[in-house]
């Protein structure tokens, strides 16, 4: 197989999970790309991306990233030599892969790299004529803006998703409406405006999803995840007690991946601190810290760092001191 296919990652296309006949087809395609490369090989790349995305919450970004970069390396190498129709199919998979890489970089706390790969995803989606993916990546950009608490950018990006010329699945439209609701909460807009957008998100999700042009986007989005996002909105709107109630009713390690469960625990601890419950906030944060370390989720660690600032008024309490010491230990201090 061509060396250029592996320059971007150490494990290429992860061939152990590919059947022997499929592997032979891929090898022939990479040896004589223009002659052999067809939709069958493109489908193998897409299957690999779907597999890694499904296991990401357990494996963590550092283990997953090299494999996905390897797939992108193979796609970029082959896209220079195939027929135009196959190139467009390849770049459509490349857009999915680049969006996923953007997410992985976001999870390890590298927003500049996340933004770079999101931009590549949009470029490839445009070239391949994949309008739905363009709107989807704008949604992911809006979510990345949340990490930096850039509320106005969150708002305009979420609105662009909903107003764009593309046909999007209801799940994506629901997620965009929820994202707009969060931005309104952060900007201090009318609470009723936030709740109207949340109601819209719940309605769209309840109507059931449909594929856009045979595609499934936001397959992970569910009523449980919308509940978590609703809790975040209420905390940002100055209603932390309501947020805590939602977390207590819907946050479960049986529903979310380990990585995501830890992340939402960190946000629950922030709501508890805002509600004036420093001891319980610290106890929940310690659980989140353990999971963040195990899954290498810098995104969760950043939220816990923000929690420490909120807990300063209670720094003399034993539970808070225990959390401070655990965080210092992880920083190597």
Domain boundary, last residue among 104, 129, 154: 129
The verdict on residue 151 lying in a domain is no
Same domain, 1 and 119: yes
- Which position has the higher pLDDT, 5 or 332? 332
- Which position has the higher pLDDT, 177 or 48? 177
The predicted model scores a pTM of: 0.81
Domain boundary, last residue among 67, 101, 129: 129
Is-contact 169 212, C-beta < 8 A? yes
Q: In the prediction, which pLDDT does 215 show?
A: 59
CA gyration radius for the chain? 21
The verdict on residue 202 lying in a domain is no
The verdict on residue 77 lying in a domain is yes
Same domain, 3 and 121: yes
The verdict on residue 64 lying in a domain is yes
Spatial CA neighbour of 182 closest among 170, 160, 197: 197
Number of domains in the chain: 2
> What's the rounded Cα separation, in Å, for the pair 73 and 76?
5
Same domain, 6 and 121: yes
203's tokens: 């309605």
The verdict on residue 281 lying in a domain is yes
> What's the rounded Cα separation, in Å, for the pair 43 and 329?
45
**Which CA distances in Å does 316 have to 164, 177, 306?**
51, 41, 18
Same domain, 2 and 113: yes
The verdict on residue 273 lying in a domain is yes
Q: Say whether pLDDT at 11 is over 60.
A: no
Same domain, 122 and 243: no
pLDDT tens per residue across span 268-298: 999 999 999 999 999 999 999 999 999 888 9
Q: Say whether pLDDT at 71 is over 90.
A: no
The verdict on residue 169 lying in a domain is no
pLDDT band at 65 (very low <50, low <70, confident <90, very high): confident
> What's the rounded Cα separation, in Å, for the pair 67 and 20?
19
Domain boundary, last residue among 102, 129, 156: 129
> What's the rounded Cα separation, in Å, for the pair 39 and 212?
19
The verdict on residue 233 lying in a domain is yes
101's tokens: 């890489």
| CA 32, 36, 37, 40 torsion-angle sign | negative
Question: Residue 122: which domain range?
Answer: 1-129
pLDDT tens per residue across span 46-56: 888 888 887 77
């Amino acid at each position: 197989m061509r060396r250029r296919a592996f320059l971007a990652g150490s494990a290429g296309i992860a061939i152990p999970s590919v059947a022997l006949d499929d592997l032979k087809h891929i090898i022939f395609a990479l040896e004589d790309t223009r002659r052999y490369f067809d939709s069958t090989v493109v489908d193998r790349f897409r299957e690999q991306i779907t597999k890694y995305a499904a296991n990401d919450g357990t494996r963590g970004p550092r283990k997953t990233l090299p494999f996905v970069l390897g797939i992108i390396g193979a796609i970029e190498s082959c896209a220079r030599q195939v027929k135009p129709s196959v190139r467009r199919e390849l770049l459509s998979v490349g857009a999915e892969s680049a969006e996923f890489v953007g997410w992985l970089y976001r999870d390890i706390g590298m927003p500049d790299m996340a933004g770079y790969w999101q931009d590549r995803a949009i470029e490839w989606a445009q070239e391949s004529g994949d309008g739905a993916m363009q709107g989807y990546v704008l949604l992911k950009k809006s979510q990345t803006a949340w990490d930096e608490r850039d509320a106005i950018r969150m708002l305009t990006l979420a609105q662009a998703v909903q107003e764009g010329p593309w046909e999007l699945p209801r799940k994506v439209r629901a997620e965009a409406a929820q994202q707009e609701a969060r931005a309104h909460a952060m900007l201090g807009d009318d609470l009723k405006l936030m709740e109207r957008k949340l109601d819209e998100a719940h309605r769209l999700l309840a109507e059931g999803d449909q594929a856009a042009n045979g595609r499934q986007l936001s397959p992970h989005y569910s009523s449980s995840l919308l509940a978590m996002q609703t809790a975040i909105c209420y905390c940002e709107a100055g209603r932390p007690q309501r947020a805590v109630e939602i977390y207590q009713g819907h946050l479960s390690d049986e529903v979310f991946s380990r990585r995501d469960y830890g992340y939402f625990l960190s946000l629950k601890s922030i709501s508890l601190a805002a509600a004036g419950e420093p001891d319980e906030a610290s106890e929940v944060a310690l659980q989140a810290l353990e999971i963040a370390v195990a899954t290498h989720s810098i995104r969760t660690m950043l939220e816990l760092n923000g929690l420490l600032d909120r807990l300063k008024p209670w720094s003399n309490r034993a539970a808070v001191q225990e959390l401070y010491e655990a965080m210092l230990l992880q920083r190597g201090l």
